[in-house]
Amino acid sequence: MKIAYLVNKYPKVSHTFIRREIAAIEACGLPVARFSIRSCESEELVDPEDKLEFQKTQVVLGVGILGLLFNLLAVAITRPIPWLRGLWLALKVGWASERGVLYHIIYLAEACVLLHWFRNSGVTHLHAHFGTNPTTVAMLCHAIGGPPYSFTVHGPYEFDEPESLALTQKINRAAFVVTVSSFSRSQLYRWCNHQQWKKIHVIRCGLDNHFFNRNTTAISSEPNFVCVGRLCEEKGQLLLIQAVSQLAALGLQCNLTLVGDGSLRPEIESLIKDYGLEKQVKMTGWASSAEVQKYIMNSRALILPSFAEGLPVVIMEALALERPVITTYVAGIPELVKPGINGWLVPSGSVEALTEVMREVLQLPTENLEQMGKAGAASVKAQHNLAQEASKLANLFRYSQHNSQDLHCHYQLQVSLRN
């Protein structure tokens, strides 16, 4: 059995959890081929392990326009009936989507490229991360004769536009569906018939022993906070800057490090300047995994004031490093962060609540914070052990393969009996 992983853009700075998952699946004895629809140039990557992963990844759009057209026509000529089924599915899904029919014809061409590669490399199952265009391509590849597929839903994007993304179709046609929290599983239940519920499995993102076995440092008395993530509206960094400003107005010293980059960086930099917080707020851009860990351990707490999330892996990392977390009552976050035990939850969008909790953390003795950090590490080790979660996923791959073989044998038997 050989698994293929398909992601829109891989490797990527924010997709470290996928890289870890692939390594853990391979540790379970299943070979994995990496495929990315678009290329992430190696110079964009800051983590050495991502740079190594880049060398192992095939890029679908790397074949160019002529390559897409060639593969599209080749499948149409050699497998006309499956190709027509795939074309009809692409048109059907495309008409109902925001991206339209043309994009879905391109997705069909991408599926044809993958079909050719899979047949040459012996791939027997395709797994896509995110229920967006990678899963669309996986579904179309299966429709034209490719291997069974499954996909992981993280949210929140899949739940913002489920009909446009043909989420119901994707669930119905998949061998199985993975999601990262009980909350996100409940949202998938909303978009499929209850008879499909049994194929939806919660397999949580996890951390490896590198986190669980490392020596952590004592929490400093310095008033340091860290926020790690893409700089965008939904992550709430603009409100975080306002909270730092309010703390400064109260005469409380507070230092904030923003780790990450994104489209909102100019607005954040402008707001920092408007509030006169240049000395209190530091922006690092993207950082390697090792650097992120250093920033986390230099803080009293990680802050993630998001409006929309799935279940952020950086929360698991902070807790594993024995740092409590300040975050919001969003999606799957309350399944891990327990108020008063390993962190604090505030209503998303509330600067006042965020400011009050940050003030509390600044004034708490470090001994209290360290106790919460140890509780957080225990909860992550119990719920988000990568080897344990990857084993569950590997078993689903094997079970799916077994069922596919049984169905194929049943089909051949029926053909023989008819003849």
What is the rounded CA–CA span in Å between residue 277 and residue 267? 14
> Which CA distances in Å does 68 have to 71, 174, 277?
5, 25, 50
Q: Write down the pLDDT at residue 210.
A: 82
- Residue written as token pair 């309010």: 246
Taking Cα atoms as reference points, which of 380, 388, 390 lies closest to residue 321?
380
What the block records as the tokens of 404 is: 């596919």
Q: Write down the pLDDT at residue 40.
A: 79
Query: 89 and 224: one domain?
Result: no
Query: 294 and 360: one domain?
Result: yes
What is the rounded CA–CA span in Å between residue 179 and residue 162? 15
What is the rounded CA–CA span in Å between residue 314 and residue 322? 12
What is the rounded CA–CA span in Å between residue 96 and residue 91? 9
> Which CA distances in Å does 226 have to 58, 244, 338, 361?
35, 12, 19, 13
Query: 132 and 239: one domain?
Result: no
Give the CATH number for residue 44.
3.40.50.2000
In the chain, the amino acid numbered 230 is R
Q: Is the link from the previous residue into 31 a cis peptide, with omega within 30 of 0?
A: no
Identify each DSSP E strand in 52-167 by its residue range.
Answer: 57-59, 125-129, 149-153
In the chain, the amino acid numbered 108 is L
Q: Write down the pLDDT at residue 328.
A: 98
What the block records as the tokens of 343 is: 């962190």
Query: 32 and 181: one domain?
Result: yes
What the block records as the tokens of 355 is: 């400011």
Contacts of 56 (CB under 8 A, 6+ apart): 34
Q: Write down the pLDDT at residue 418.
A: 41
Query: 223 and 351: one domain?
Result: yes
Q: Write down the pLDDT at residue 404.
A: 65
The gap from C-alpha 365 to its chain's centroid, in whole angstroms, comes to 35
What is the rounded CA–CA span in Å between residue 108 and residue 74? 12
| 59: β partners | 36
Query: 231 and 377: one domain?
Result: yes
Query: 66 and 150: one domain?
Result: yes
Query: 189 and 122: one domain?
Result: yes
Q: Write down the pLDDT at residue 42.
A: 55
What is the rounded CA–CA span in Å between residue 1 and residue 63? 26
Query: 361 and 407: one domain?
Result: no
Q: Residue 260: which domain range?
A: 215-383
Contacts of 193 (CB under 8 A, 6+ apart): 172
The radius of gyration of the chain's CA atoms, rounded to the nearest angstrom, is 23
| 128 in Cβ contact with 95 (< 8 Å) | no
Provide the domain count of the chain: 2
What is the rounded CA–CA span in Å between residue 79 and residue 84? 9
| 138 in Cβ contact with 112 (< 8 Å) | no
The gap from C-alpha 6 to its chain's centroid, in whole angstroms, comes to 12
**Sequential pLDDT tens for the chain (419 residues):** 999 999 999 999 889 999 999 999 999 999 999 999 999 775 578 888 999 999 999 999 999 999 999 999 999 999 999 999 999 999 999 999 999 999 999 999 999 999 999 999 999 999 999 999 999 999 999 999 999 999 999 999 999 999 999 999 999 999 999 999 999 999 999 999 999 999 999 999 999 888 888 888 999 999 999 999 999 999 999 999 999 999 999 999 999 999 999 999 999 999 999 999 999 999 999 998 899 999 999 999 999 999 999 999 999 999 999 999 999 999 999 999 999 999 999 999 999 999 999 999 999 999 999 999 999 999 999 999 999 999 999 999 999 887 765 544 443 434 344 43
What is the rounded CA–CA span in Å between residue 127 and residue 135? 8
Q: Write down the pLDDT at residue 405.
A: 56
- The secondary structure of 75-103 as a DSSP string is HHHHSHHHHHHHHHHHHHHHHHSSSHHHH
Query: 129 and 165: one domain?
Result: yes
What is the rounded CA–CA span in Å between residue 111 and residue 75? 10
Query: 391 and 305: one domain?
Result: no
Q: Using CB atoms within 10 Å of the CB of residue 120, give its burial: 0 to 12 exposed, 13 to 18 middle, 19+ buried.
A: exposed
Question: Coil, strand or helix: which one is 208?
Answer: coil
Contacts of 78 (CB under 8 A, 6+ apart): none
Query: 251 and 189: one domain?
Result: no
Q: Which helix (H) or strand (E) holds 187?
A: helix 182-189
Taking Cα atoms as reference points, which of 130, 155, 165, 160 lies closest to residue 38?
130
pTM here is 0.92
Q: Write down the pLDDT at residue 414.
A: 41
